[in-house]
Amino acid sequence: MEIRIHTQSGSVETFFQDDPALVARTLKRIQSTRAFATDLITIAGDYSLTSFVASQVSRVDLITEDFASWNYPDGILDVVELPEDEFRERSHLNDPARLERRRRPKPIGEVAVVFVELEMTGGNRTFLAARIKVPVAAERLQRLRMLFCAPAVHFQMCQGGTALLNLKNLVRFTLNPGPDVTPIDAWPAHHLSRQPESLSLAGALD
């Protein structure tokens, strides 16, 4: 198993363990929602001991073939990481005329894909695709907020393996398309960076 620790400063340290028994023991001890709840994350090797202040860690990658991922909240089927180019292509951010309107309701029980951009403290961004089973209208906003307002979120990495993101260091998350239910405290405005110079997108988003 390869372990990568990403810090808020942008540094990445990599560790390796090739003993299957130790890998299994380590993975069994890790709880996805509590991975960053401790003060320190400590890696103990044969020759060194390295501790990271958990609050300063933004992401942990666990790259191993035998790891069965943790469960998601009810209705979230899976969450996978995408390269930025693929994210922009599949979410139609590169083609604003094809952007899906947020207020278009989906049938209850339908499987929908929501594209999520997350920005962490320090400016690092992560691009995800989440497959969800559309719940009743009263739960649509709560379901997605519950996933990204938890202490941590896990997802399958592009190159294989599972990553944990420390949501205590989350600055922003953007859902495309967002749920068709609008928060009562939301400010009504469009995303300026998605509008071409001609402002031809304005009509598509209002």
SS3 for 81-144, per residue?
ECCHHHHHHHCCCCCHHHCCCCCCCCCCCCEEEEEEEEEECCCCEEEEEEEEECCCHHHHHHHH
Measure the N-to-C terminal CA separation of the chain; round to a whole number of Å. 48
pLDDT confidence of residue 2: 95
pLDDT confidence of residue 40: 96
Q: 173 with 118: CB under 8 angstroms?
A: yes
The pTM score is: 0.84
- What is d(CA 70, CA 38) in angstroms, rounded to the nearest whole number? 19
Q: What parts of the chain have a pLDDT lower than 70?
A: 68, 102-105, 137-141, 193-206
**Sequence-ordered list of residues with C-beta below 8 angstroms from that of 129, at least 6 positions apart, any chain:** 79, 80, 82, 87, 90, 113, 114, 115, 116
The edge-to-edge listing of strands for the beta sheet with 152-156 is 12-16, 2-7, 57-63, 162-166, 152-156, 76-81, 125-133, 111-120, 170-176
pLDDT confidence of residue 100: 74
Q: How many CB atoms lie within 10 A of CB 30?
A: 15
pLDDT confidence of residue 126: 96
